[in-house]
Amino acid sequence: MKKNEKELVGVKEIARRANVSIATVDRVLHNRTGVSEKTKQKINDIIKELDYKPNILARRLASSKTMYLYTLIPEVSEETDYWSVPLQGIIQAENEIMLYNVKIEKLFYDMNDKDSFVKQTEVILQAESVDGVLLAPAFIEEAISFTEACQKRKIPFVFINSNIPNRKNLSYFGPDLFYSGYTAAHLVDYLVEESDQILLMNIAKDINSDYHILKKEEGFSQYFTERNPDRMLKQNLYETDYPSVKKTMVTILKDYPDIKLIFVTNSRVSLVARYLLEKKKENILLVGYDFLDRNINFLNKGVIDFLICEKPQEQAYRGVKALYRYLMFEEKQEKEYFMPIDIIHRENQRFYRN
């Protein structure tokens, strides 16, 4: 196509070439009645010749159809307020796109209850209209079952926080979980002597189904397997209330009094920090995850030494916007958008944003 032709491409130029009114071209573009098959074919041939792409946004605004996006993430609990941060990212994106006939239905499930997750997925699948889903997939098998149902219904879905391999998700926004754990191990290796004992703690109700925790543990363990595997201990704690954590800490520090550093694989590091502060265990270093108020409090008190952070607000914000842009503009999205793995300490925390 010549340069001057490219500049002329539009509804007016199509109407001129077809020798019809602009209203007739508009009827064809919007697939409305009132145009003969011969004229419709003529207009479509010109559209194809000019490689005309209509203003999708203008068409969406002119339409009365509402785009329905669903988000499904864990609810905020007494144990951790981590999920309040991704929620802020969802709200941030919602405020930017709500003017374009987009409605976001926000659903939440209990991180300690698979059934609550399944019930919320059923709400989505039974909804009258679902154009896209943003999902934080805590329970692997249940998330796979849900996303298979989405695939059958041709509902695009985006993962945040945790990725599940071999799913036909539109995108994933979050850390590379294996290298998040590997990075944590590299940091830990700098903090202690080669002969010092290190404790890895998983604190979650259903650790064996928690892909997020398992991949970080895998990365952390791999680092020390390549160097000195004997120095690393592991403790799974399936009860996530403070009395249970306290009881476990008493036992393990009695059995292994030489532990020099504890690494907690999620935001519940504050539970361990609370115990160390109460017992004045100032000789034990503590590393964990997530830039949350209660964790920052222990960081500023010197109980937590480092927090590893992965921008959860940005994960959710980008996830919603990816769905919107795919559905609105038919834009191809990156399959994996890895968040930075940030290391936060007492001195730089004041400058950090999730």
Q: pLDDT (tens digit, 9 = 90+) per residue, 151-180? A: 999 999 999 999 998 899 999 999 999 999
Pairing relationship of beta strands 259-264 and 285-289 according to DSSP bridges: parallel
- The pair of structure tokens assigned to 3 is 């340069």
Strands ordered across the beta sheet of 197-203: 232-237, 197-203, 259-264, 285-289, 306-309, 342-344
**What Rg value do the Cα atoms of the chain yield, rounded?**
26
Average pLDDT, the chain: 91
The answer for residues whose C-beta is within 8 angstroms of residue 134's C-beta and 6 or more apart is 69, 70, 71, 72, 73, 90, 157, 158, 160, 316, 319, 320, 323
CA 354 to chain centre: 13
Q: Give the per-residue pLDDT at 53.
A: 64
Residues of the chain with pLDDT under 70: 1-9, 30, 52-64
- Give residue 61's pLDDT: 55
Q: What is the pLDDT of residue 54?
A: 64
Is the Cβ–Cβ distance between 79 and 295 less than 8 Å?
A: no
Chain-centre distance for alpha carbon 67: 21
Which domains does the chain carry? 3-54 (1.10.260.40), 67-175+312-339 (3.40.50.2300), 177-309 (3.40.50.2300)
